[in-house]
Amino acid sequence: MIHLATAANESASKAFPLVDIGASAGGLEAISELMAEIPAVSGMAFLVVQHLDPSRPSLLPEILAKRVSMPVLEAVEGMIVEADHLYVIPANMICGSPP
C-alpha cells in the first residue's frame, strides 16, 4: 500500500491540503484541464488516482508534466509529500495496494 505522508516533525503552520483527483481511463483531458486552472504555487498537493492498464508501465507522470505548471512525480511508498506538487499513482495498483 502506498502511504503518502508529510514529515512528522513539520510544524502545523506548514500543513497543507492533499487533494485527491480520481478519473477513469479516459480522464487525461479532464485532469489536464483541471490542473491548468490551478496555479503552480497553490499551497496544496495533488494526487491523481486514475484507472491504468496494469500490464503496461504508466506514462501518465510524463504526459501530465508537459501539461501542468508544477512538478509531477509518481507516488512511491513512504515518500514525503510536498505542497505545489502533483503525484500520480503507479500502474498495477488496486485500492492503494499492489495486486
Find the CATH number of the domain harbouring 37.
Answer: 3.40.50.180
The answer to whether residue 11 is domain-embedded is: no
Predicted structure pTM score: 0.79
pLDDT in tens, 19-69: 999 988 788 899 999 999 999 999 999 999 988 777 777 888 999 999 999
Range of the domain at 71: 16-88
The answer to whether residue 79 is domain-embedded is: yes
d(CA 95, CA 3): 12
Q: Which residue in this structure is represented by grid cell 499492489? A: 98
pLDDT in tens, 67-86: 999 999 999 888 999 999 99
Number of domains in the chain: 1
- Residue 43 has φ and ψ, to the nearest 5°, of 80, 10
Is-contact 40 70, C-beta < 8 A?
A: yes
* CA nearest to 38, candidates 5, 67, 77: 67
